């Protein structure tokens, strides 16, 4: 698999982010947003198949080669939404489309719902709204999050003696992936340390959320969307079997496409990437 890709750095007022840049300078602007604990390599198969687009595939803060947030800062979904907006500002993109997978799709929906005047189109892969929580559970969840934060200094990342061991661990992680996909993610996500390799990602990314949106909050963001939306559901992914997702989609003017494959169907293999590209290629160029 070979594709022309440029490594870029984005020096935002509050943080430096890394990204992969695909496509011609005059292509339609698209920001590609990966999932939790992934990185810009999530789009290594898909982006080269989307001709005519200027795709900036970000490493979210705390992921890949992007900087970690300052001490005391957080990794909440709305923090990522602000980062995306700040990137668009630096690129001079007044209106742009979002291509999001999993957590990246959720951030895309939040941003598009909050600032519909900035977002032209949403191309979503196996992601729509965040895990929700109702008000009666909020004190308990905040308590769990605070305890986890206090315990974090004593938590150590795993160290793998060889890259193959890290790849095998990623294959079995949340949102299991193929070996080829794990190798791509590991290529950008690992760093050498004494004794072997560990993940570059900020350990704070594994902390539980201190506060979750309610179902009503999440639904409000979907209702607020004004741009065209194309959603790919993986038949073996995280959304297809969720009845709550069907309820949210009910009556919404979204194009929903169910495809065979797992949660990372756009990265696991070439046929999966091509199937997703066939759906998004014309949609993002309209």
Which residues are identified as catalytic? 102
Query: Buried (b) or exposed (e) across 102-140, using 16+ Cβ within 10 A?
Result: bbbbbbbbbbbbeeeebbbbbbbbbbbbbeebeeeeeee
Tokens of 12: 């935002």
115: left (phi over 0), alpha (psi -120 to 50) or beta: beta
Tokens of 258: 């169910």
Closest CA to 38 of 182, 185, 208, 178: 185
């Amino acid at each position: 698999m070979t594709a022309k890709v440029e490594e870029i750095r984005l020096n935002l007022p509050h943080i430096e982010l890394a990204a992969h840049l695909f496509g011609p300078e005059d292509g339609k602007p698209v920001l590609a947003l990966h999932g939790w604990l992934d990185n810009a390599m999530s789009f290594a198969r898909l982006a080269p198949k989307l001709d005519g687009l200027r795709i900036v595939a970000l490493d979210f803060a705390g992921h890949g080669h992007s900087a970690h947030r300052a001490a005391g800062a957080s990794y909440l979904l709305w923090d990522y939404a602000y980062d995306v907006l700040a990137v668009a500002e630096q690129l001079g993109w007044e209106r742009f489309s979002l291509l999001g997978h999993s957590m990246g799709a959720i951030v895309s929906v939040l941003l598009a719902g909050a600032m519909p005047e900035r977002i032209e189109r949403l191309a979503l892969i196996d992601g729509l709204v965040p895990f929700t929580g109702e008000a009666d559970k909020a004190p308990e969840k905040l308590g769990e999050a605070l305890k986890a934060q206090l315990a974090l200094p004593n938590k150590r990342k795993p160290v793998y003696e060889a890259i193959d061991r890290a790849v095998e661990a990623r294959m079995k992680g949340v949102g299991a992936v193929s070996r080829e996909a794990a190798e791509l993610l590991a290529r950008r996500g690992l760093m050498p340390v004494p004794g072997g390799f560990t993940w570059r990602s900020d350990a704070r990314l594994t902390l539980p959320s201190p506060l979750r949106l309610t179902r009503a909050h999440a639904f409000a963001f979907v209702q607020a969307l004004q741009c065209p939306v194309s959603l790919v559901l993986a038949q073996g992914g995280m959304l297809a079997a969720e009845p709550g997702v069907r309820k949210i989609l009910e009556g919404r003017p979204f194009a929903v496409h169910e495809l065979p494959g797992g949660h990372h169907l756009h990265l696991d293999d070439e046929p999966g990437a091509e199937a997703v590209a066939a759906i998004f290629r014309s949609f993002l160029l309209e």
